Amino acid sequence: MDIHPIRTPADHKAALAEIERLFDAAPGTPEADKLDILATLVERYEERLWPITDGDPVEIIRFMMEQRGEGQSGLARLFGSAPRASEVLNRKRALTMEMVWKLNREWHIPAELLIRPYELAA
């Protein structure tokens, strides 16, 4: 197993790619063990780099957009439409489970941060 600490964005990207490759590893296999170790390393790196805030889901999405260098168009691509992204960011539409899943899978935002209750605009 060739595993080393994650110290740079390139290390992080490589680890995420390897996690994706190993995602369906059968439990009890060396691949599953490697997946578990890599996930732990990525989690530690991300906690240091992007500490979890007490913000609501919209604030967390905005924070991650800034950290990733994504504009609203990046969120629109993820959600499938610009109006949908705008409505979420302006608190006119609540996040759906599908949106939470996409944000978790593609942007690696912990789902537990996105499923918190938050206020919508009147």
Whether 25 and 63 map to the same domain: the answer is no
Tokens at residue 87, please?
A: 């409505």
Q: What is the pLDDT of residues 1-39, one digit of tens each?
A: 578 899 998 999 899 999 999 989 999 999 999 999 999
Other CB atoms within a 10 A radius of the CB of residue 69 amount to 7
Residue 122 within any structural domain of the chain:
no
Q: What is the pLDDT of residues 66-97, one digit of tens each?
A: 988 889 999 999 999 999 999 999 999 999 99
Q: What is the pLDDT of residues 36-72, one digit of tens each?
A: 999 999 988 888 877 766 789 999 999 889 988 889 9
Residue 1 within any structural domain of the chain:
no
Q: Taking the model in full, what pTM does it have?
A: 0.60
Range of the domain at 99: 57-114
**Helices assigned H by DSSP within the chain:** 9-22, 30-49, 57-68, 72-79, 82-89, 97-107, 111-114
Whether 35 and 19 map to the same domain: the answer is yes
Distance CA 114, CA 56 (A): 8
Give the mean model confidence (pLDDT) for residues 91-105: 95
Whether 39 and 62 map to the same domain: the answer is no
> Domains in the chain: how many in total?
2
